[in-house]
Amino acid sequence: MKAAVISFTGKGGRWNRVITDRLRSEDICCTGYGFYKYGEEGLEPFSHVRELMESLFSSCDLLLFIGAAGIAVRAVAPFIRGKAQDPAVLVMDECAHHVISLLSGHLGGANEWCRRIALLTGAEPVITTATDLNGIFAVDLFARENGLAVRNTEAIREVSGRLLHGGKAGFYSEIPWEGELPSSLILFSEKEKEDARKPEYGIVISADADKQIFPITCFLAPRDLTVGIGSRKGIAREEITRCLNRVLEENGLWEGRIARLASVSLKREEPGIQEEALARRVPFLTYTPEELERVPGTFHGSSFVEKTVGVDNVCERAAVLGSGGGELLVGKRAGSGVTVAIARQEVPTLHFADTEKENGQL
């Protein structure tokens, strides 16, 4: 979790320090940035907010602006990509009267962060998401809470619009779930997909992209893949991306299912792998050769790799260990100085919180 707090005045800078220190106390990697004319001890100075956003927007999970909403909007506008890629963006006035969830309210967690910052500062949280305000089940919030990725984010609007206008949506899941199904959802099985009475809109949770059960379907998939990576020293990120994308395509795997990258500790500071993890907004885990050596299973060993790194195989062992001992789905694939393997972890049971009641209590 990486966060940045950006302030533009002396008063805002003091709130910046308070919030930054609090988030750091919660083991969140948080950096405070203050406009250079109003330098506050402990804050990184900046002079041009656009230049600051060029480095922060794609690398942070949370951006909190302390200042005018217009400044925040103009600062992030050139970098916005979409619901699934954008970080949570908040804006709070320098007097901490209000804190606004500005961008990526559900998938990025901005609404949740808005409430947390409000509790910390005493500000009034301002959340404008229609499903929250009306106490309606939100498919993107459900996805975030259950570690699911949305394949077609444009369908969120279609399904949410249906529910907001009092309609029903179908629900189909290949992953076990618990809790009470929201009253706005109708449970369907695959054998019922030819039923003429089924809803026009629906939600499908599956690793398979072809489960078109409803005419208009919002597809959710588990984030269940760990990518193990071995590489030549100094390998460029472009080579890693090219190799990984090829392996995913050859095996019919959607990149949104990637939960993490993993490798040997010798590669902890490898820029190419770090950049790949950053671009995909996933953590990069590393393990010592001894930890990798203890991973049970049969792997494609290499005497050269063992002599160089201290363990006979990096990518396959790292994938399995990073997935918590999951199934090695794709064995070692090599190309242009990069080796890739993919393991699939067991997916936990999904949970339905009492979202309709909780969201109505704003």
CATH of residue 164's domain is: 3.40.1390
Let me know whether 260 and 176 are in one domain. no
Let me know whether 237 and 327 are in one domain. yes
Let me know whether 249 and 324 are in one domain. yes
Q: Which of 94, 128, 162 is the last residue of a domain?
A: 128
Contact, 181 vs 188, CB < 8 A? no
What's the angle, vertex CA 334, arms to CA 261 and CA 292, rounded to 5? 50
Q: Which of 69, 96, 128 is the last residue of a domain?
A: 128
Q: Which of 182, 201, 222 is the last residue of a domain?
A: 222
pLDDT (0 to 100) of residue 358? 46
Assigned domain for 352 exists: no
Let me know whether 217 and 230 are in one domain. no
Let me know whether 234 and 335 are in one domain. yes
Assigned domain for 270 exists: yes
Let me know whether 229 and 205 are in one domain. no
Let me know whether 33 and 114 are in one domain. yes
Assigned domain for 361 exists: no
Let me know whether 242 and 337 are in one domain. yes
pLDDT (0 to 100) of residue 38? 82
Both tokens of 114, joined, read 């808005």
Q: What is the CATH number of the domain that holds 123?
A: 3.40.50.11220
Assigned domain for 298 exists: yes
Let me know whether 84 and 71 are in one domain. yes
Let me know whether 73 and 100 are in one domain. yes
Let me know whether 253 and 191 are in one domain. no
Q: What is the CATH number of the domain that holds 288?
A: 3.30.420.180
Assigned domain for 350 exists: no
Domain that holds residue 90: 2-128
Tally of structural domains, the chain: 3
pLDDT (0 to 100) of residue 190? 62
Let me know whether 159 and 100 are in one domain. no
Tell if the pTM clears 0.85, that is, is over it.
no
Assigned domain for 170 exists: yes
Averaged over successive runs of 10 residues, the pLDDT of the chain (362 residues) comes to 95 95 94 88 92 93 96 95 91 96 92 95 92 87 93 91 92 93 87 70 89 90 97 94 96 95 96 93 95 94 89 96 96 94 96 61 36
